[in-house]
Amino acid sequence: MNDTAGIALTGVSKTFVGRGRTVEALKDASLSCPPGSFTALIGPSGCGKSTILRLALGLDSADTGTIAIDGLTPEKATKGGVTGVAFQDAALMPWRTVRRNVALPLEVLGRDVKAAQDSIEALISMVGLGGYEESLPGELSGGMRQRVAIARALVTHPKVLFLDEPFGALDQILRRQMNIELQRIWRETGSTALLVTHGIDEAVFLADRVAVMHAGPGRIVEVVDIPFERPRSPDLFTSPDFHALTDRIEGILHGK
Ligand SMILES: Nc1ncnc2c1ncn2[C@@H]1O[C@H](COP(=O)(O)OP(=O)(O)OP(=O)(O)O)[C@@H](O)[C@H]1O
Ligand SMILES: [Mg+2]
C-alpha cells in the first residue's frame, strides 16, 4: 500500500446484497492520488463512483482491499478533519445562514468556531459569496448553494477534498465559471482533490488524471494523464488537444 499518497485505494471491492439482488458495486479498484494532485472519476450511472467516495470517507466499509487517506484509515481521516466533502445536492441546513452552514464541520469536529471566524469569512468571499453571510439557503440560487457547499467542504482546511458532482445542477455557463473557480480554489488550498463528474470536459479541464470507470461490476478501466499546464484558461475548452483527449475518454467510456 502506498502510504505516502494523498488518496490510496488498493484492491478495493464492495458488494451490496439486499432484497434478492446482489450488486458488485466495486471490483478490485486501485487508485493512487499523489498529494496535491487533482483526479477526476468518470463513468456511467451505477459504476461505483459515489461508493468510492463513501468508502474513502469511512461512511461504509470495503469487503476487501485497503484505503488510506493521507496515510490514515478513512475513519481516522474523517474524524481528524483531514477530509472535506461536497455532495451533488449541496445538502445545506435550510435553517442555518450561509455563515453557519459553512461553520458546521468545525462544530461537528468540536473545534472553536469563534477562533475560525476570520477564516470562515475569507472562505465565503473566496467562493464569491461576500455579502450573503446572513442569507438562508432558500434565498440563494442553485449555483450559490453549491458554492456554499464547497466553502463548507474547505472550512477545516482539509488535506483531501472529495467532490461528488458538485456542479450537477448547474447550467453550462455557470458550470464553466465554477470549473474555473474550482481550479483557482484548489490551487490556493493545495489539497488532494477527487472529483466525481459526468462531464468529460469538466474532468479534462480540472484534473491531472481522469480515472474512467465501467459498471457491472464497477471498476476502474483506465487512468488517463492530462498534461495541460496550469493555470488552465477557458481557451483550453476549444483547443484541438483538449478535444483529442475528451474524444479519447469518450471512447474508453464506450468500451472502444
Ligand atoms: N447502500 C446501498 N445498498 C445497496 N446497493 C447500493 C448501495 N449503495 C450503492 N448501491 C449500488 O451500488 C452501485 C453503485 O452505486 P454508486 O452510488 O456508487 O454509483 P455511481 O457511480 O455514483 O452512480 P451515479 O452516477 O448515478 O451517481 C449501484 O448499482 C447501486 O445500486
Ligand atoms: Mg453517485
Q: Tell me, rounded to whole angstroms, the distance of Cα 121 from its chain centroid.
A: 22
* Candidate of 23, 59, 200 to mutate for ligand 1, largest count of ligand atoms within 8 Å of Cβ: 23
Mean pLDDT of 24-37: 97
The helix (H) or strand (E) run that includes residue 238 is: none
Taking a C-beta distance cutoff of 8 angstroms, is the pair 253, 42 a contact? yes
Q: Is 134 a residue whose pLDDT tops 70?
A: yes
61-105: per-residue pLDDT in tens? 999 999 999 999 999 999 999 999 998 776 899 999 999 999 999
Q: Using the mean position of ligand 1's atoms as its centre, give its distance from the Cα of residue 42 in Å.
A: 14
Q: Using the mean position of ligand 1's atoms as its centre, give its distance from the Cα of residue 46 in Å.
A: 5
Please state, in angstroms and rounded to a whole number, the distance separating the CA atoms of residues 46 and 16.
Answer: 12
Which amino acids bring their CB within 6 angstroms of ligand 1?
16, 18, 23, 25, 43, 45-51, 218
Ramachandran region, residue 213 (left: φ > 0; alpha: ψ -120 to 50; beta: rest): beta
Q: Which three cell numbers stand for residue 250?
A: 469518450
> In this structure, which ligand is nearest to the CA of 45?
1
Q: Using the mean position of ligand 2's atoms as its centre, give its distance from the Cα of residue 45 in Å.
A: 7
Question: What residue owns the CA closest to ligand 1's atom 4?
Answer: 16
> In this structure, which ligand is nearest to the CA of 61?
1
Query: If you search the block for the grid coordinates 466525481, which residue do you land on?
Result: 196
Residue 19: per-residue pLDDT? 84
Strand partners, 219: 214
104-113: per-residue pLDDT in tens? 999 999 999 9
Q: Is 1 a residue whose pLDDT tops 50?
A: no
- Please report, rounded to a whole number, the percentage of residues in the chain having pLDDT higher than 90: 78
Query: If you search the block for the grid coordinates 474555473, which residue do you land on?
Result: 180
Q: Using the mean position of ligand 2's atoms as its centre, give its distance from the Cα of residue 126 in Å.
A: 27
Query: If you search the block for the grid coordinates 458488494, which residue do you land on?
Result: 15
DSSP letter string, 21-65: EEEEEEEEEEEEE-TT-EEEEE--TTSSHHHHHHHHTTSS--SEE
CA 31 vs CA 69, 97, 222, 250: distances in Å: 12, 37, 10, 20
Q: What is the dihedral of CA 199, 204, 207, 210, to 10 degrees?
A: 80
CATH classification of 36-62+71-82+158-256 is 3.40.50.300, yes or no? yes
Residue 2: per-residue pLDDT? 46
Mean pLDDT of 7-12: 98
Query: If you search the block for the grid coordinates 483529442, which residue do you land on?
Result: 244
Q: Mean of the per-residue pLDDT values for the chain?
A: 93
Indicate the pTM of the whole model.
0.92
Q: Is 3 a residue whose pLDDT tops 60?
A: no
Q: Using the mean position of ligand 2's atoms as its centre, give its distance from the Cα of residue 198 in Å.
A: 10
Residue 66, SS3 per DSSP: strand
121-130: per-residue pLDDT in tens? 998 988 889 9
Question: What residue owns the CA closest to ligand 1's atom 7?
Answer: 16
Residue 4: per-residue pLDDT? 64
Output the CA torsion sign for 44, 46, 50, 56. Answer: negative
180-217: per-residue pLDDT in tens? 988 988 998 899 999 999 999 999 999 999 999 999 99
Q: Is 166 a residue whose pLDDT tops 90?
A: no
* Structural domain spans, the chain: 36-62+71-82+158-256, 90-156
Residue 175: per-residue pLDDT? 84
